[in-house]
Amino acid sequence: MLTIVQVLLPESIYTSNAWLKQYCIVVFALSSGPLVWAIIAWKNRLVFHDIDKVTSLAIHSFPVGVSYLWRWTPMSQPADAISELLGLGWSPVKFPVPPSADTVGLWELYALPLLVYSIWQILYYWKTEVLDLSRLNADPELQTSLRWLVRDTRNAMNVMVRRVLTATGFLRRDEALNAAHLKTKIIFMVAQLIYTFLTLLPVWLMYNNFYFHTCFLLGVFSISTYNGAEFYIQNFSEKYQQQINSKTQSKSNSQGARGFFSSETG
């Protein structure tokens, strides 16, 4: 939502409102930090025929793509040379010139993003635990972020939280996490806050170094592509194995039937 607002605002507003540049920096920090790291943590896969997987990947990658363009292709730069050379008639998306790196500090890249995240977390808790509580209790199959994190025991966040809590004695080894319990809700809210803080740490380097930012994003999207390829190989190999087993079973049943009729005839 923050990214959509950034895209829709006209250029004239950016030039006349200094606070909007801080707004863009906050969007840059959150999209280049916790949001894009979620592609790795949530193991997003580039699987074209699965709308859920494609949507999840798009949600985590679209904002960082917009922020990347805002940071490294501002209005002051000329149109894309390749586009002009090929006569395509289009140029990259143009955004207002971002503040120079030496004017952006801890407040813009860390304090404000954490404040925005905290506000989001409060609103999310109010939405799921107050506004929609009766609806969620009536339908346990309705999916929320917390329910998904608790149920997916192979998820990186779930595995890490269990290991840390078990090692520190806050959770017994045989104790199951329940999304309906207050203890579980507090655990994952604190874990998500720590995750947000840690994934914000490299953002300063991303804002200051084009090559680091570019290589990082290429690495993240390469991982999502690899995850998708892994899914296809595993999925197709399982289907192929099922087909072989089915044919083997059919052949075995056919041979058994022939043996039965032969014995009856004899």
Residue pLDDT tens, the chain, 266 long:
667 666 666 566 665 667 777 888 899 999 999 999 999 888 888 888 888 888 888 889 989 988 898 888 765 444 444 444 445 444 445 566 677 777 788 888 999 999 999 999 999 889 888 888 888 888 888 878 888 788 877 777 888 888 888 888 888 887 778 888 888 888 888 889 999 999 999 999 999 999 999 999 999 999 999 998 888 888 777 776 777 767 666 666 665 555 544 555 55
Which candidate, 23, 58, 24, 52, places its Cα nearest to that of 38? 58
Q: What is the pLDDT of residue 130?
A: 86
Is residue 42 classed as helix, strand or coil in its secondary structure? coil
Residue 174 phi/psi, 5-degree rounding, is -95, 5
- State the residue for tokens 């998708």: 228
CB of 231 within 8 A of CB of 47?
yes
Give the 3-state secondary structure of residue 50: coil
The separation between the first and the last C-alpha atoms of the chain, rounded to the nearest angstrom, is 78
In whole angstroms, give the CA distance from residue 138 to residue 101: 50
pLDDT attached to residue 199: 95
For residues 25 and 102, the answer to whether their CB atoms sit within 8 Å is: no
pLDDT of residue 118: 93
CA distances from 135 to 34, 45, 141, 178, 184 (A): 29, 30, 11, 17, 19
What is the token pair recorded at 171?
A: 């959770």
What are 85's two structure tokens? 């050379």
Q: Which amino acid is at 20?
A: L
pLDDT for residue 14:
60
Which among 35, 57, 38 is positioned nearest to 46, based on CA atoms? 57
User: Is 153 in a helix, a strand, or coil?
Assistant: coil
Angle between helices 182-200 and 156-168 (to 10 degrees): 110
Domain ranges of the chain: 2-238
Rg (CA), the chain: 25
Residues 6+ apart with CB under 8 A from 13: 20
